[in-house]
Amino acid sequence: MLNDIHSRVYRCEVMHRRVSSPKYRFTYRIFSLLLDIDELPRLRHRLRCFSHNRFNLLS
């Protein structure tokens, strides 16, 4: 069941700001994974790009 999965993917924004000279600021977007370790074997069946103890994009 998909509702039984507690792992999540979050969209985040990282910002850096330099306050001394030369002043500079930038932001960029990232994805952050919050994975429940106990769910790893089940997640590989739900997500094609994710594998547990196998070769894949996210492994």
Residue 18 and residue 51: Cα distance in Å, rounded?
Answer: 39
Which residues is 15 bridged to in the sheet?
A: 27
Residue 43 and residue 38: Cα distance in Å, rounded?
Answer: 10
Q: CA angle at residue 32 from 27 to 38, to 5 degrees?
A: 170
Domain ranges within the chain, ordered by starting residue: 2-46
Counts of helices then strands in the chain (DSSP H, E): 1, 2
pTM: 0.53
User: pLDDT tens per residue, the chain (59 residues)?
Assistant: 456 778 888 999 999 999 999 999 999 999 998 888 888 777 767 777 777 677 776 66
End-to-end CA gap in the chain: 22
